[in-house]
Structure 1
Amino acid sequence: MKNKKKVFHLLGLCTALGLIYFTFLQVKISQYSHLKAPKNADYLIVLGARVKGTVPSLAFASRIHAAAKYLKENENTIVIASGGEGPGEDISEAESIKRELIKKGISESRIILEDKSTDTYENIRFSKKLIQKGAKAGLIVTNNFHMYRAISIARDNELEVEGIPAKTPLIAVPKSYFREYLAITKFYLKRYFLDSI
Structure 2
Amino acid sequence: MKNKKKIIVIFGVFVIIGLIYASFLQFKISQYSNEDAPKNADYLIVLGARVKGTVPTLVFASRINAAAKYAKENQDTVIIASGGKGSGEAISEAESIKRELVKQGINETRIILEDRSTDTYENIDFSKKLIPQDAMSGLVVTNTFHLYRAISIARDQGLDVQGLPAKTPWKAVIKSYTREYLAITKFYLQRYVL
Task: Assess same fold via TM > 0.5.
Answer: yes
User: Deviations 1:13-37 (Å, cap 9, x if unpaired)?
Assistant: 1111001000100111111111211
Q: What residue number does 1:115 align with?
A: 115
**Where does the alignment leave 5 or more consecutive residues of structure 1 unmatched?**
none
Q: In 2, distance between residues paired with 1:59 and 1:20?
A: 27
User: Deviations 1:62-106 (Å, cap 9, x if unpaired)?
Assistant: 100000000011111000000000010000000000000001111
Q: What residue number does 2:192 align with?
A: 192
Could you tell me which amino acid in structure 1 is paired with residue 35 of structure 2? L
SS in 1 for 2:7: helix
Could you tell me which amino acid in structure 2 is paired with residue 157 of structure 1? Q
Q: What residue number does 2:66 align with?
A: 66
Shift of 1:115: 0.2
Shift of 1:133: 0.9
Identity rate of aligned residues, in percent?
73
Q: What residue number does 2:37 align with?
A: 37
Matches within 5 A, 1:5-154: 5-154=5-154
TM-score, structure 1 as length reference: 0.97
Q: In 1, distance between residues paired with 2:98 and 2:129?
A: 18
Q: Number of matched residues?
A: 194
Could you tell me which amino acid in structure 2 is paired with residue 183 of structure 1? A
Greater Cα offset, 123-132 or 5-14: 5-14
Could you tell me which amino acid in structure 2 is paired with residue 56 of structure 1? P
SS in 2 for 1:88: coil
Could you tell me which amino acid in structure 2 is paired with residue 77 of structure 1? T
**Where does the alignment leave 5 or more consecutive residues of structure 2 unmatched?**
none
User: Deviations 1:29-66 (Å, cap 9, x if unpaired)?
Assistant: 11111121111101010000000000000110010000
Shift of 1:112: 0.2
User: Deviations 1:96-150 (Å, cap 9, x if unpaired)?
Assistant: 0000000111111100000000000000000001011121100000000100000
Could you tell me which amino acid in structure 1 is paired with residue 37 of structure 2? A
Shift of 1:174: 0.7
Shift of 1:2: 2.0
Q: What residue number does 2:158 align with?
A: 158
